[in-house]
Amino acid sequence: MEAVKRGAVAISVKGADCVILGAETKSTAKLQKRRSVKKILKVDDHVAVVFAGLTADARVLINRARLHCQSYRLTNEDAPPVQNVAREIAQIQQSYTVRGGRRPFGLAALIAGYNVDGSVSLFRTTPSGTYEEWKANAVGRKEKMMREFLEKHYADDMDRTASIKLVVKSLLEVVEHGAKNIDIGILVPGQPLQKLSEAEIGDVVKEIEAEAEEEGKKGKQWYQR
C-alpha cells in the first residue's frame, strides 16, 4: 500500500457514453524520451487500465490480464465483460497475498471499458485483491483529496467533453507543469483506446484556466456591489 500512496496520481471518470482515464506523468531526465513510461495501458480492444504504484508490477499484472482476455475470447467467442477482467486482476493480486515467498503486487488499478451491450464500466482493484465498481475514482498520492474533488464536481450522464474537463481539472489540483505532466486516454463503445496529444491537453487546460478567470471576475464584481 505504501507504493500506491507514493505513486503518481491515476484517475478515471465514467461519462454517459465514455470512460476517461487520466494519469500524472513524472518529469523525465533530460536524455529520456518523454512519455516512454506509460501509465495508461491497453488490456484488450475494449478495456484499459490506469494505475498507481510500481510500473514493473503493473507490466506483469497487465500481461496476465491480456492472456485472460485472449483465453476468454477463444472459449466464448466474445469479448469478456469489464467486470470479468476486473475480477481476474483482483484474483491474481489476492493470490500473491497468501503464498509464502511472494510479495503482493505494489499497485492499485482503475479498470475501465465497455461491454457488449454498449454500457461503460469502471472498477478499482487494490493490492489486497478487492475490487469495486465506481462512477469516478482516483488512486495514488493525495487520492483522498482527489476523491473529495470528484465527489464535489461529478455529475451523472456527463458528455465526453465534460468528462475530459473534469479529469484534467482534477489532475491540475496536484500535478506540476500543467499539460506537460498529464496523460489522458478515452474509451468509447465500439472504438479502441484513444490518447490525447499534449497540444490537445494544453487546449483543455487553457479552457479551464479561462473559465476560472471568468468566474473570478464575476465574483469580484458581485463583491464590489
Query: Is residue 44 a contact partner of residue 82, using CB atoms and an 8 Å limit?
Result: no
Nine-digit cell string for 114: 465497455
Instruction: State how far the alpha carbon of 59 is from the alpha carbons of 39, 65, 83, in Å.
Output: 10, 10, 20
Residue-wise pLDDT tens digits, 172-196 = 998 877 788 899 999 999 999 999 9
pLDDT exceeds cutoff 60 at 207: yes
Q: What are the E-state strand segments in 144-196?
A: 182-187, 194-195
Q: What are the E-state strand segments in 4-73?
A: 10-14, 19-24, 40-44, 47-53
pLDDT exceeds cutoff 80 at 225: no
Region 105-118 average pLDDT:
95
Query: Is residue 83 a contact partner of residue 133, using CB atoms and an 8 Å limit?
Result: yes
Dmax (CA) for the chain in angstroms is 69
The answer for residues whose C-beta is within 8 angstroms of residue 133's C-beta and 6 or more apart is: 83, 121, 122, 123
Taking the C-alpha atoms of residue 224 and residue 71, their distance in angstroms, rounded to an integer, is: 66
Residue-wise pLDDT tens digits, 59-88 = 999 999 999 999 999 999 999 999 999 999
Q: Which is it for strands 40-44 and 136-139: parallel, antiparallel or unpaired?
A: unpaired
The pTM score is 0.91
